[in-house]
Structure 1
């Protein structure tokens, strides 16, 4: 490589956020679904009016084929079970909320997808882990000299939570 080539001086050991690291993998998939960027998906809880920010999620944007038509795209939403009729009735309000967020007519119509959406399906379920008996005894011994009942219980809870994290790291 020549010294004037900017690729030669590119830093390769910089820290990246997960979003930046996955951008290369997600962007082609999003473009197939009609999204120019991840913004509508990432900001959906802010964009959509209540309760649609929790009960719907954008599935796809269908753009009109003619280049003359600048009226916007059709936004296809996945909807939680039992919310489809309500979402279809409020489709104009959802479209105007999206357009208001972006500042131009992005969506002219909202339709519902046949694909199901379960609220919270993207959230991780965590099973509560119990600390070992030795950790419980150690925390109880360390906090028994605290006179204030509420403070002692708070310190005990904190100590047990930290012991579970430490055991998970070591294990």
Structure 2
């Protein structure tokens, strides 16, 4: 006999992705030592420049045996080449995190063994120039459009789409 599963709770409102995923992320973050998502979510606001872009929090480790001990060790992942600066500026980073939270959360900052690889913001953009025949073809198609901004946007879109179709044909 199969168990009758309870009907899922319906919410008559839309949810943000963060709210929908909060239940899935919280157990993972707790294993990494974070009580909440605040340190990771607001890292770019609390970390001093340039460490807000070259490092991310990896783990928060608390001292063993001391229940009321203040000050955890924050492990940071960093882009290779910035490790020495972060190791020297650990006190400055810890002070910035503590200032953000208003109490002593981080006692020391150390480097994680795993490197930080930034997202797609630094990726190389496709610099392939369209062929002269493509430029002429797209130019003829958008020549009748009166609005200059719209015409230019459509021209760029046409060039990008022609590049995609030639890349797939290779």
- The alignment partner of 2:108 has SS state of strand
Partner of 2:92: 93
SS of the counterpart of 2:113?
strand
CA RMSD of aligned residues (A): 3.7
Could you say which residue in structure 2 is the equivalent of 1:22? 21
| Matches for 1:65-104 after TM superposition, within 5 Å | 65=64, 66-69=66-69, 71-104=70-103
Query: Deviations along 1:64-96, whole A, 9 cap, x unmatched?
Result: 221132x21111111110111100000000000
Aligned residue in 1 for 2:130: none
Q: Structure 1: which 5+ residue stretches go unaligned?
A: 1-7, 165-171
What TM-score does the superposition give when structure 1 sets the normalisation length? 0.70
Tell me which residue corresponds to 1:169: none
Give the equivalent residue in structure 1 for 2:53.
54
CA distance in 2, matches of 1:149, 1:68: 65
- In the comparison of the two structures, how many residue pairs are matched? 153
Q: Which runs of 5+ in 2 are unaligned?
A: 1-6, 127-132, 163-170
26 and 102 in structure 1: CA distance in 2 versus 1, 3 angstrom threshold: same
Structure 1 pair 83/124, CA: closer, same or farther in 2 (3 Å)? closer
* Structure 1 residues 127 and 87: CA distance shift in structure 2, 3 A: closer
TM-score, normalization by structure 2: 0.71
Q: Structure 1 residues 127 and 119, CA, compared in 2 at 3 Å: closer, same or farther?
A: closer
SS in 1 for 2:27: helix
2: CA distance, partners of 1:21 / 1:113: 29
- Distance in 1 separating the partners of 2:34 and 2:109: 15
Partner of 1:36: helix, strand, or coil? coil
Counterparts in 2 of 1:14 and 1:126: CA distance versus 1, 3 Å: farther
Deviations 1:101-150 (A, max 9, x none): 11111101111111111122x6696976xxxx99x95x645642467977
Note the C-alpha offset of 1:97: 0.5
> For the residues of structure 1 that align with 2:68 and 2:11, how far apart are their CA atoms?
44
Aligned residue runs from structure 1 range 1-171, under 5 A = 11-65=10-64, 66-69=66-69, 71-120=70-119, 140-141=139-140, 143-145=142-144, 152-154=151-153, 156-157=155-156, 160=158
